[in-house]
Amino acid sequence: MTNTPPAVRPARPYFSSGPCAKRPGWSPDKLNIEVLGRSHRSKLGKTRLKHALDLTRKVLQVPAGYRIGIVPASDTGAVEMALWSMLGARPVTLLAWESFGEGWVTDVVKQLKLDANVMKAPYGELPDLTRVQQDHDVVFTWNGTTSGVRVPNRDWIRDDREGLMIADATSAVFAMPMPWDKLDVVTYSWQKVLGGEGGHGVLILSPRAVERLESYKPAWPLPKIFRMTKGGELIEGIFEGETINTPSMLAVEDYIDALEWADSIGGLDELIARSEANAQALDRWVQRAPWIDHLAGDPATRSNTSVCVKVVDPAYAANPDVPKKIASLLEKEGVAFDIGGYRDAPPGLRIWCGATVDTADVEALGPWLDWAFAEVTSKL
């Protein structure tokens, strides 16, 4: 029996979980390039960097008093700055349920050598958040990019917590509401959520986090790119557009373009709505397809950005080559790029549903996934 390819293709087959799809309508000629070839420390350079920070505050609805800085080395750099600069002042709890959370465990336990309380869960699940000790500093990923599992709500974070809440939110911001009053450090990289160019991170600090920086000096030396204080006081320039090292102004202009697009369509509420619509469209396909299911078992913890699915057909569930071959075939067809599961995750597919993706493309993808599964398994 012939397996006929679907008639409708995704118009933009970009479902990578980072760098993610460019915003709808993007093209290079939309970027303001007058700053290129200029110093980032020129008046123009500082103005554009400050504009990026101001737009970030507006779109993400970051409260006054919270600092926002552009920092080196993507989300990883932003998280590392927080870990190396702030931890060690009090006990630490680390939450890990996927590869990036595991990475922060390695850094804190093996590199900083802190005696941390580590709470782990397997891919597809969460640790028991009700057991998190709130007199500890807590490090966690808001959304598990490689597992498709997110924290379901803010309720587990107490208002009277004594420690700092440090959230790696790189695949959550701009798609999920951030409860700023519950968070002290939030990090992300704009190539993840807004389809920007890589290499830069964003670090957002609450007043409590700033107080920690100004009152605590870690026992270990800090590299230059991690230093946020001088003489016991915060280096305010970092959070006003005076970056620690030289940024790519082209990447900054690309970020500004994405933020201006986000603002023009209705801001954070519309970004969240777009991502939710995409995730719901993908879920409708999952519910219809008998061979696939979500990696995250609990619907309340399923990501609306980095949606991870696994093969459950009994004949093929144990064969890791099936999802690999599906991803390869759809890339060859030009239908879906970069949807293979993360290398350390259980075998499966990972499909980005963030706000820069159009729902019609997610809806068009489902039948192609069914077609590819049939094609691949017919040859096994």
In a domain, 20, yes or no: no
Indicate the residue type of 53.
L
Per the DSSP assignment, residues forming a β-bridge with 64 are none
Residues 175 and 311 in one domain: no
Q: Which of 264, 299, 321 is the last residue of a domain?
A: 264
Same-domain pairing of 162 and 300? no
* Residue 345 near residue 320, CB atoms below 8 Å: no
Residue 88 sits in the same domain as residue 159 = yes
| In-domain check, residue 161 | yes
Q: How far is Cα 147 from Cα 319, in angstroms, rounded to an integer?
A: 19
CATH of the domain at 122: 3.40.640.10
Task: Dump strand ranges (E) for 132-256.
Answer: 137-141, 143-144, 149-150, 165-168, 185-188, 200-205, 229-230, 233-234
| Beta strand pairing call for 185-188 and 200-205 | antiparallel
DSSP assignments along 28-80, one per residue: GGGS--TTTTS-TTSHHHHHHHHHHHHHHHHHHTPPTT-EEEEEESHHHHHHH
Taking the whole predicted model, whether its pTM rises above 0.95 is answered as: yes
Both 330 and 346 in one domain: the answer is yes
Q: Do 81 and 113 fall within a single domain? A: yes
Classify residue 137 as exposed, middle or buried by CB count within 10 Å of its CB (0-12, 13-18, 19+).
Answer: buried
pLDDT at 1: 57
Clarify whether residues 206 and 163 are in a common domain: yes
- Reference 18, options 146, 152, 166; nearest CA is 146
Same domain, 80 and 119: yes
Instruction: Tell me the β-bridge partners of 186.
Output: 167, 204
Per-residue pLDDT of the chain (380 residues; tens, 9 = 90+): 579 999 999 999 999 999 999 999 999 999 999 999 999 999 999 999 999 999 999 999 999 999 999 999 999 999 999 999 999 999 999 999 999 999 999 999 999 999 999 999 999 999 999 999 999 999 999 999 999 999 999 999 999 999 999 999 999 999 999 999 999 999 999 999 899 999 999 999 999 999 999 999 999 999 999 999 999 999 999 999 999 999 999 999 999 999 999 999 999 999 999 999 999 999 999 999 999 999 999 999 999 999 999 999 999 999 999 999 999 999 999 999 999 999 999 999 999 999 999 999 999 999 999 999 999 999 99
Residue 150 neighbours by CB under 8 Å, 6+ apart: 142, 143, 144, 172, 176, 301, 302, 303, 304
| Residue 183 and residue 256 in one domain | yes
Domain boundary among 207, 241, 264: 264
pLDDT (0 to 100) of residue 167: 98
| In the chain, beta strands by DSSP E | 67-72, 92-96, 117-120, 137-141, 143-144, 149-150, 165-168, 185-188, 200-205, 229-230, 233-234, 292-294, 306-311, 349-352
pLDDT tens-digit readout, 278-287: 999 999 999 9
13 within a domain of the structure (yes/no): no
Residue 273 lies in a domain: yes
Helix 359-378 × helix 267-288 angle, to 10°: 30
**331: its two tokens:** 């890339």
Distance CA 43, CA 47 (A): 6
Is 163 within a domain?
A: yes
- The answer to whether residues 98 and 183 belong to one domain is yes
How far is residue 37's CA from residue 44's CA, in Å, rounded to a whole number? 11
Give the closest residue to 156 by CA, choosing from 186, 138, 132, 136: 132
CATH of the domain at 329: 3.90.1150.10
Does 248 share its domain with 123? yes
Say how many domains are in the chain.
2
- pLDDT of res. 2: 73
Cα(142)–Cα(44) distance, rounded to whole angstroms? 35
Angle between helical axes of 359-378 and 321-332 (0-180°, round to 10): 120
Partner residues linked to 119 by β-bridges? 95
Does some domain include residue 177? yes
Domain assignment present for residue 10? The answer is: no
Residue 142 shares a structural domain with residue 186: yes
Q: What is the mean pLDDT of the chain?
A: 97
Do residues 226 and 243 share a domain? yes
Q: Tokens 């998280």, residue?
A: 79
CA angle 304, 273, 127 (to 5 degrees): 30
Residue numbers of the domain that contains 354: 267-378
Report yes or no on 72 lying in a domain. Answer: yes
Domain limit, last residue, from 246, 264, 282: 264
